[in-house]
Amino acid sequence: MYIRIKRNEEELQEWRKGLTEIIKYPLPNLSTLRIESIIGRGGGGKVFVVQSRQDGKLYALKVIDKLQTFKTAKAFRHVSSERLIMERFGRHPFLLHVEFAFQSDANLFIGSQFCPGGDLASYIRQKGNRSIPYDGKDYIGSVQTGRPRRYPRLTEEQTRSIACEIVLGLEHLHSKGVVYRDLKPENIFIDEDGHLKIGDYGLAKLLEEPSSGTRSLRTASVCGTRNYLSPEMLAGKPYSYESDMWSFGVMLYRIMIGAFPFDANRTKEVFQRIKKDTLDTPNWLSTEARELLRGLLQKDPRKRLTAERMKRMPFFAKVDWDAVLRKNCSPSISDVSVGDRLSDVLENFDLTKLEGISVGDYMYGHIEEATPATAPSHKRDPRGILIGFEYAHKDEDRLNDGPELLVKTRSGGLFSRITSLDFDQLPSPRGIFSSGSK
């Protein structure tokens, strides 16, 4: 097995203690959550909007199949990293954080703040300007043959407000040693006040050596979304935070101009243009905007803008960064509409690819009932459980007087997978997923 397991008495004692705390103060689970609608799906799992029966609040619940999680070492690392990063570094005004996490025999569940404004890509599709000024050229970006893909766009002023909140969230991640690796409008979410949250950390990586605790400077895996990949990543070179800044430049280009800077019909051609083509910016953009895009879309990562240098660019000359961080200024999305009913909120999400598919279908044919049989059984568990995956942020409205529930026995900085062999002497899990347990 690719995961090394420590089976010693000290580790088991810590896990027993964690289970005891969970039994005393039950975690949110499927019996305490009412599933309202599916709102997204992807390689990392499915996302539902759920309502807590305990506090009445809405949450986003990501459901991850354990079979897929344990299929490869890379998949396991991605899930573990996502859960850890959301807990360790997500408490920031412009990042999504984990509110609770639990597991069953079949699935892992991560609950986070629900952002009723939907994602930034859906907002731009609905509210963006679909006309693109003509600047004497027959193409935008590097698509010189065929018809380039066009997208609705926003004004420079709107883009500036959006960029301010995103760069502060990204700067925080970089300061903690996290390279995000999948920055795009689809992964930026709009809260009820119109502020932005970077979410979906499935590809994020903590640049840290588990054995020594010293931070490494680079990683080498090629991952992300086609048009947003950096030249150094495509060249197979080690990369770091600079790669996120390239993706940020691509995103701002798309938002302001309505097209990708390097595009083509075939993936291979896209990659060639990212690595070799010269950046083209239309002359109807302001000088400050063109300068910003050129700084972010430098082929040489050593010359590329960092988050700190980006904040000092003329494009942001009038921005009060402290006020943005404190949210003492207008939100990025001033016309967010959340309505009074969940049906109104769901209009902010792109559900076209999910039509005709029931929630039950996505939950493998039925809604998994929260009973002792669907909790990690410890005895019949064929797929293992993750030590330390469970989590609940302390909230007086939800956990009453209970302690903050942090069950975090880890091996090498990641969660450990264990099997029923490790649980011969553990207390019965009855009540862990029972809403009435005390």
Q: pLDDT for 232-278, tens place per residue? A: 999 999 999 999 999 999 999 999 999 999 999 999 999 999 999 99
| pLDDT-flagged residues of the chain (< 50) | 1-7, 138-146, 209-212, 359-383, 395-414, 416-438
* C-alpha distance from residue 293 to each of 252, 277, 289, 299 (Å): 8, 15, 6, 12
| Other C-beta atoms lying within 10 Å of the C-beta of residue 74 | 11
Contact assessment for residue 393 and residue 100, using Cβ atoms and an 8 Å cutoff: yes
User: Class assignment of domain 9-116+348-423?
Assistant: alpha beta
- The span from the CA of 279 to the CA of 372, in Å, is 58
Torsional sign, CA 114, 115, 117, 120: negative
- Distant-in-sequence, close-in-space partners of 125: CB < 8 Å, separation ≥ 6: 151, 152, 350
Pick the CATH number of 134-337 from 1.10.510.10, 1.10.10.10, 3.40.50.11540, 3.20.20.140: 1.10.510.10
Q: pTM score, two decimals?
A: 0.79
Domain boundaries, the chain: 9-116+348-423, 134-337
Contact assessment for residue 236 and residue 134, using Cβ atoms and an 8 Å cutoff: no
Predicted local confidence at residue 303, as pLDDT: 97
Mean of pLDDT over the chain: 78
Ligand-binding annotation for 74, yes or no, is no
Catalytic residues: 182
